[in-house]
Chain A
Amino acid sequence: MLLSVKDLRTWFELRRYGFVRVGHVRALDGVSFDLKPGEAVAVVGESGCGKSTLAKTILGLEPPTAGEVRFDGRNLGKPTRELLRWYRARVGYVQQDPYGALPPFMSVKRILEEPLIINGVKDRHERQRRIYEALTQLKLTPVEDFLNKYPHMLSGGQQQRVVIARAKILEPKLIVADEPVSMLDASVRVEILQLLRELQREYELAVIYITHDLSTVRYFSERIFVMYGGKIIEQAQMEDLLADPKHPYTEALLRAIPDPHPKNAETMREVPPGEPPSLLNPPLGCRFHPRCSKMIEGLCDQTEPPEVDLGDQHIVGCWLYTDQQS
C-alpha cells in the first residue's frame, strides 16, 4: 500500500471569546481507506462534508485528532522535520484556486525551480531540464514564452497547469488534487483533467481527486468515495456506483444531477428534504437519517451503521444492507 488511512478523525476546536471551549467541529470523523501505487480515486461530496479536510489531513497540513496516516510504510502521526520533508517531496498538492496558490511576485521559472532547490537538485542544467520537461508535458509551449511570465499574465487554465507542473516536478508518488477544475471554464476543464489523467498513467502516480462534480469523475478515475457528514458512506467502482448505488444518499445525489437535455425542463427532480448536518453536533446514528426516505426507526436514528462489504470493492455504510434490519 502506498497510502493507508485508518479511522482518521480531524476535529476543530470551537472557542467562544477565544478561550471558552464550546465543542468540536467534527470535520472528519472516522475515515479509512487504502490506496495502491498508481491508483486514482475520486472523493465526492457536498461542501462541508469534510472532503477538503481529508485532503489537508493527508497532506499533513492539519494535524489529525485521532487515527493514522501511513505513507510507504511510515507513520505520519507526529512527524519530525525530516520526515515531513521526506514526505512532502513525495506528495504533490494541486489547489482549487490556481491564482491564490501561485505567489504573485514569482515568475513561472522561479515557482518551478524553488522546490528543486529546496530538495537539493544542485545542478542548474538538471533543474532547467526538468522545468522544460514539466512545462512541455503540461502543454505550456513554447516553454520560453512562459518561463518569465508572472501568474497574473496567464489565463486560469494556464495558471492551473503551472500549479500541476509544480506539484509533479519532484516526481511525487501521490498527488492530492482538491477541486482542481472547479474554478475553470467548462471548455478548459476537460483539457486539464485529461492532462492530469495522462500524467497519472505515465508516471504511475496515485491521485486523490476531490470534487463536488460527480459528472467529471468518470473521465478521471475508476474508484470513487462518496462522503457525507465527515464520513465515507459508500465506496465503489464508478460504473457499479452509477448502475447500482446502494446508499440512499448516493441515490439521491445521482438523481439530482442532470445531463443536458431539453426534456429536463418538463419534470421536477426528486430531492431529499433538509440540509447536510451540522458537524458541530451531528445527529445520532446514521448522519443521513433525518433526510432519508428509507430510515428504520429505532435503528438508523440510534446506532451508527457499520461498513458493509458487498464484494467487488463495493463498501457501504448503511443499515439496509446488514442482517439486523429485519
Chain B
Amino acid sequence: MRKTSSDSALLRIEGLRLHFKTMRGTVQAVDDVTFSLNRGRTLVVVGESGCGKSSLARGILRLLPRNVETYSGKIYLNGDELMCLTDERFRREVRWVRMSMVPQAAMNSLNPVVRVEDQVAEPLLVHKCVTTREEAYERAREAFRMVGVPLDFMTRYPFELSGGMRQRVALAMALVTDPELVVLDEPTSALDLLTQANIMNVLKQIKKDIGVTFILITHDIATSSELADDAAVMYAGQLVEFCDAGRFYLDPLHPYSRGLMGSVPTLWERKDLMFIPGQPPSLLDPPKGCRFAERCPDRFDKCEEEPPLTEVDVGHWVKCWLHR
C-alpha cells in the first residue's frame, strides 16, 4: 500500500470538516481546513482553547467520539487517500502504523497497572510490525533510548516515574512503530519549565536523527518556536493563516495572528503587550462573514462576507480581506 507520490507533501488535507452533534445544535469544531505539509517538517498549530486544534488532531487520526455529525473532506498521506478506507482498515493499516499521536496529558493516560515496557511494545505486537516478542522489546528499548528514558526504568510502572519521564514514555509509544507522522497534542503544557525545555530538546534531536514529521498542537507560542518549521493559526474552527515559521513569528499577516503574537509575554524583548478584546464566537452558530470580524481592529464592510483562504506569497496563506 505504500507508494511514493510525485509531490513532496507527506500530508495533504483538503476541506476537512468535523462537526459534532450536541443537545444545543451542531458544533462546527473543524470547518473546511485545507493545508499540506512536507516530509520532515514540523507544523505548529496554534490558537485559543476551543478553536478546534485538538479536533483537527482527532480528525486526522480518525479518533472520533460518537456524536460526530459530519466528517468529510480529503486526507492524503504520502499520496494515499485515507477517507475512503473503512474504519477497520484505517485502524489496521494507518493508525499507529503510519501515523501516531501523543494525546493531551499523555502522562496521565498510561495504564497504571502495566509496566511501561509492555505498554511501549504493545503497538508493535498488535499491529504485527514484528514477528517475535524479543524483537518487539528490542525496538521498545530503542525507542526508550531515543526519548532519553534510562533503560532500567523500563520495568517500572507509570506511578514510579516523574511527569517528565511519563511524557517521554508516551512519546516512545508513539515513535516505536516508526510512523511517518506523529501528532503531538500539547506535549509539554502540564510540565515544568525545565522539564519542558528538556522534552523540546528530545523532540528536536529526534527530528534531526530520524526525520519524522511532527504536527505540534499547542497554545504556548513561545515554546512552539523551538520546533516549528511551518505554522498554522486556527480560529473558530477555521485555518486563518498558514506559513513558514520565519514569517509567522516575525511578521504574521492575519489580524488575529498579529494579536496573538502581540499578547505573548516576552522575557528579553521589551514590548507593550496587547490583548484581543472579546472572546471567540460560539461554534454552535458561528458568524456568517469573517469569524474574527467582531474582535478585529481592522474590520471594514467587506468583512460581512467570508474571506477565502488565499495564497498571498509563495507558501503563505491568509484568510482575510486585507490580504488579497
Contact = CB atoms under 8 A, between A and B. Distances in A.
A272 B195 CA distance: 9
Interface stretch (B31-39, B55-63, B217-225): B217-225
B226 A185 contact: no
Interface residues of B, number: 48
A219 B265 contact: yes
A155 interface: yes
Listed residue (A155, A187, A218, A262) with the most chain B CB atoms within 10 angstroms of its CB:
A187
A216 interface: yes
Interface string A247-269: 00000111011111110110011
A46 B267 contact: no
A215 B265 contact: yes
Interface residues of A, number: 38
Contacts of A219: 265, 273
B193 A257 contact: yes
Interface string B203-233: 0110000000000000111111111110000
A212 interface: yes
B106 interface: no
A214 interface: yes
Contacts of B274: 190
A191 B222 contact: no
B40 interface: no
A58 B224 CA distance: 36
Contacts of A194: 273, 275
B265 to A, nearest CB: 4
Contacts of A218: 265, 267
A275 interface: yes
A157 interface: yes
Given A46-B194, A260-B249, A190 B265 contact: yes
B164 interface: yes
B315 interface: no
Contact of B193 (A46, A185, A186, A216): A46
B131 interface: no
B300 interface: no
Interface string A123-165: 0000000000000000000000000000000010100000000
A275 B195 contact: yes
B162 interface: yes
B194 A272 contact: yes
A252 B193 CA distance: 10
A260 B198 contact: no
B269 A259 contact: yes
27 contacts: A46-B192, A46-B193, A46-B194, A46-B195, A47-B192, A185-B48, A188-B275, A189-B263, A191-B277, A194-B273, A212-B193, A215-B266, A216-B265, A256-B196, A256-B197, A257-B193, A257-B267, A258-B222, A259-B267, A259-B268, A260-B249, A260-B261, A262-B225, A264-B226, A265-B229, A265-B245, A275-B195
Given A259-B268, A260-B266, 14 more contacts: A46-B192, A46-B194, A157-B279, A185-B48, A187-B263, A190-B274, A215-B266, A218-B265, A259-B266, A260-B225, A261-B249, A262-B225, A262-B228, A262-B249
